[in-house]
Structure 1
């Protein structure tokens, strides 16, 4: 008798869950229908969302230079304070198809440099420690590398690509909500009706897990594609810097010095985000290729070009 009572209660709960999920799915579909009625059609709505996301990302990147520079508490470098640095920057800009960025220094807590574009030429920010770590030709190589990113509009293209990928994944996820609700209702309802509330081995549960896995896989794939492009652009910026300066080894030495200065010396160094990794997934998700790869490519470039004496002012220090 107790078993029959339990089955009746379980069946009632199962039907209630199924009806609840189905009503929620219908509510979502109705919401979509109302949204679609505001535009000519589904394709137009999707296109509108994509255009809005791309435009928003572009404008945020293009006009966010001032906010970023202010946020990191950087200081502009007057020409009178560092005439040699400005002269090197002027020479590089003259050799490249890029507007001259404003030069800033900041305490970034790690030896680093980055450039961001803007309507006024953008900004090139360098950590103060770089001037203690690097020689003049190595500083020039870092400047050329960052200018190469500005010349190719890498920052804005990467930002737009990332925004577009996230928008597409978001649209796909939103579109899948009704199906997820229906499958969840069928999975939970059928399990209760069968008298096995905790059972998640049914066909509806498997379909729901498959759909979720597909959505997650789409997000991961989009991320990997954006990160792969980012790593390729780092190689391209290295090549452009080597071409403009005529000194690939200067950039190789700079990268190696920065790597060594970034490596933490405390006992938990293996947990540091700055360490090189042998894990494939971590390499795939990284925005930058390994320093070893970059240095080796630059060394091969120098050997292929059979460079003679490096440019005046170089330390001549080998890459180790």
Structure 2
């Protein structure tokens, strides 16, 4: 295509070309110095450090990562509650629900959470907090009309199961660790990135094309892009691992809720009703929804929740193992 052809370099006087060549050489030298300095610094840190120093540094990094994750979790939880504008549901307003919450919380060995009602982007429930301060189970108000008693109870039990293992905190810490690892990878390849950047910028100025529009990418440009893709690849793989762990947590919470209530089918039916009453959404709570578009393989890999069909099928098998042959989750919600 014509739009992809290099733009011709405008004619310049010999003096201008000479000055641009000098700038190119100076830029190349500057980046070479930066790259060499970065390499020597990293090399000195690694070679000069004793095993104890490396262990101390690793411990400090882990401690900092955990502290940063805890801080992000605490303030993120407060921001999320404020954004939801949830209203706490008092025991006098729903005594049976609070009694069930207290019973299940005692069985799980967690402090009874507060129960709040909010208007979310679609019918849903989530459990947040609990590590510092009181946890809160937030229910969309439409769930009280959409679900019957056993179904609502099963959804609440599912959220309490997340509190038992502090799943939201684990996920926050995992993403903090991912950012830290990727940061170290980026730091390790920084000298090479600076070197390649210097060759790319210096070459452009020496050719009289400081914007790089008049020539095709050179070897340095291609190598720099490959390094960037490698760093992004590390980030992508680690993100996939964290998301896969999140999906396993969902299966565990489903199983734990079914054990607490003794009604796997009630949870399966509740999930189906929420799915059919909901539509894929984006925004504040998109990654927390029990429903997600499951047709795209990449979407499934990046989803925090497993496919709904698989969740329901597991619950049905659990019910059948218990001799509960009822399969009411096919009920249509209008």
Could you tell me the TM-score, scaled by structure 2's length?
Answer: 0.79
Deviation, 1:62, is 4.8
Name 2:330's counterpart in structure 1. Answer: 319
Q: Structure 1's 215 and 59: CA in aligned 2 closer, same or farther, altered over 3 A?
A: same
Deviation, 1:176, is 2.4
For residues 231-281 of structure 1, the C-alpha deviation after alignment (integer angstroms, 9 at most, x for no partner) is: 11011101111111111111111111111111279xxxxxxx965232111
User: Could you tell me which of 178, 182, 190 is aligned with 1:169?
Assistant: 182
Q: 1: distance between equivalents of 2:121 and 2:12?
A: 67
Deviation, 1:121, is 4.1
Deviation, 1:194, is 6.8
Is contact 1:107–1:127 with CA below 8 Å preserved after alignment?
Answer: yes
SS of residue in 1 equivalent to 2:330: coil
Is contact 1:63–1:118 with CA below 8 Å preserved after alignment?
Answer: no
SS of residue in 1 equivalent to 2:189: helix
Q: Structure 1's 44 and 213: CA in aligned 2 closer, same or farther, altered over 3 A?
A: farther
1:75 lines up with 2:87 in the alignment? yes
Q: Structure 1's 287 and 86: CA in aligned 2 closer, same or farther, altered over 3 A?
A: same
Greater alpha carbon shift after TM alignment, 186-195 vs 231-240: 186-195
Name 1:115's counterpart in structure 2. Answer: 127
SS of residue in 2 equivalent to 1:183: helix
Is contact 2:131–2:166 with CA below 8 Å preserved after alignment?
Answer: no
Name 1:125's counterpart in structure 2. Answer: 138
SS of residue in 1 equivalent to 2:109: coil
User: Could you tell me which of 304, 307, 315 is aligned with 1:287?
Assistant: 304
Q: Structure 1's 319 and 88: CA in aligned 2 closer, same or farther, altered over 3 A?
A: farther
Greater alpha carbon shift after TM alignment, 7-16 vs 126-135: 7-16
Greater alpha carbon shift after TM alignment, 9-18 vs 291-300: 9-18
1:187-198 mapped onto 2 (5 Å cutoff): 187-190=200-203, 198=214
Name 2:286's counterpart in structure 1. Answer: none
1:241 lines up with 2:254 in the alignment? no
Name 1:269's counterpart in structure 2. Answer: none
Q: 2: distance between equivalents of 1:141 and 1:308?
A: 18
Q: 1: distance between equivalents of 2:77 and 2:205?
A: 56
Is contact 2:122–2:279 with CA below 8 Å preserved after alignment?
Answer: no
User: Could you tell me which of 102, 114, 118 is aligned with 1:106?
Assistant: 118
SS of residue in 2 equivalent to 1:110: coil
For residues 118-139 of structure 1, the C-alpha deviation after alignment (integer angstroms, 9 at most, x for no partner) is: 3344111111111011000000
User: Could you tell me which of 11, 22, 29 is aligned with 2:32?
Assistant: 22
Q: 1: distance between equivalents of 2:315 and 2:144?
A: 22
Q: 2: distance between equivalents of 1:120 and 1:9?
A: 65
SS of residue in 1 equivalent to 2:110: coil
Unaligned runs of 5+ in 2: 1-10, 282-288
Greater alpha carbon shift after TM alignment, 101-110 vs 61-70: 61-70
Deviation, 1:190, is 4.3
Name 1:154's counterpart in structure 2. Answer: 167
Greater alpha carbon shift after TM alignment, 86-95 vs 196-205: 196-205
Q: Structure 1's 42 and 190: CA in aligned 2 closer, same or farther, altered over 3 A?
A: farther
Number of aligned residue pairs: 306
Deviation, 1:294, is 1.1
Q: Structure 1's 161 and 264: CA in aligned 2 closer, same or farther, altered over 3 A?
A: closer
Q: 1: distance between equivalents of 2:124 and 2:88?
A: 16
Q: 2: distance between equivalents of 1:108 and 1:34?
A: 53
Two-structure CA RMSD over aligned residues (Å): 3.4
User: Could you tell me which of 117, 120, 137 is aligned with 2:150?
Assistant: 137
SS of residue in 2 equivalent to 1:302: helix
Is contact 1:166–1:222 with CA below 8 Å preserved after alignment?
Answer: no
Q: 2: distance between equivalents of 1:64 and 1:206?
A: 39
Deviation, 1:150, is 0.6
Deviation, 1:307, is 1.7
User: Could you tell me which of 266, 270, 275 is aligned with 1:254?
Assistant: 270
User: Could you tell me which of 241, 246, 255 is aligned with 1:225?
Assistant: 241
